[in-house]
Amino acid sequence: MITTPLCTLLGIEHPILNASMAGTATGELAAAVSAAGGFGMIGGTNPDGAPWLREQIRIARSLTARPFGVGFISSFPDTEELAPVALEEGVAAINHSFADPTPFVAPAHAAGVKIFVQVQTLAQAIRAARAGADVIIAQGGEAGGHAGALGTFALLPAVVDAVAPIPVVAAGGIADGRGLAAALLLGAQGAWMGTRFVTSHEWGGPSWEQEAVLAATSDDTVQTRLYDLIAERPFPPENPDRVLRNAFIARWHGRESEIPAHREALQAEVAAGNERADLSVAGISAGVSAGLIASARPAGEIVRAIVQE
């Protein structure tokens, strides 16, 4: 069995965490990861607000007695409303991403809840450490969804050295036992995986997106701000979205300055593409590690297989 000080801190058996993917890392997924000995995370940022989050936390609690957490896209304005819900429901940890975590630390600690902070640069890691983070997630640009520009295995040891003795978890490009072993060798105390759990049976997104991720190779993703600009989503500009390549992205690459003049039509085009599951238009988040994943499996099996590997 692989154990690290992170396991002791969180009360878990295996140093594996699923990413808190917004709205699709459900209570069922978090519970399955936790029940298998990892640390499950619910993606708390969602279109249905506090009622959905409260429901997912209670679903997870009904399925496992083991600890789990909730993560937020903290640059979104609804985080101020949603974070207190997670505290009220007594989750074990809350993760904050893409914003200064400082305002959220004291209320969480007062409630006995640990704070994770996901960072994409060394400067952000130092800020998170000074703010009182209990765990720092060092996320490389290989990650699916929103990430930075630095590579995971270059950023990771720099963060480990800078914030010691705070535990650091590696994120971005990890989908199997080899990736976990490499992360541990570089000083991480665990691995945070998104794309690997997109292909779990418990993932809460549409099946056609999951099938597209399973069909992808490691060459099939690209970082872009196109969908953020169209939808006016409040992600920091330095954190583009890694998605599967498609014709829509190719058509608009380099034309981002034109988006405001066409935003309404583009929003309608993207919405229609999602409605008809059109892979040539829809923005499907996926990391470079998609090329390492052969099949969809139950989340618990994924955790156990990675530890065995």
Pairing of strands 135-139, 114-119: parallel
The tens digit of pLDDT for each residue in 92-135 reads 999 999 999 999 999 999 999 999 999 999 999 999 999 999 99
Which residues in 107-157 belong to E strands, given as ranges?
114-119, 135-139, 145-146
Q: Quickly tell me which residue has 């065995």 as its tokens.
A: 308
Angle between helices 79-88 and 102-110 (to 10 degrees): 20
C-alpha distances out from residue 62 to 35, 90, 146, 297, Å: 11, 14, 31, 22
The tens digit of pLDDT for each residue in 276-303 reads 999 999 999 999 999 999 999 999 999 9
Measure the CA–CA gap between 305 and 308, rounded to whole angstroms: 5
pLDDT for residue 64: 98
Measure the CA–CA gap between 214 and 205, rounded to whole angstroms: 14
pLDDT for residue 281: 98
Lateral strand order in the sheet of 241-244:
145-146, 241-244, 221-224
Measure the CA–CA gap between 128 and 119, rounded to whole angstroms: 8
State both tokens at 194: 């998104």
pLDDT for residue 258: 97
Pairing of strands 241-244, 190-193: unpaired
Q: Report whether pLDDT(208) > 80.
A: yes
The model's pTM: 0.96
Pairing of strands 135-139, 190-193: unpaired
Per DSSP, the three-state class of 305 is helix
Work out the average pLDDT over 56-81.
97
Confidence of residue 1 (pLDDT cuts 50, 70, 90): confident
The tens digit of pLDDT for each residue in 69-88 reads 999 999 999 999 999 999 99
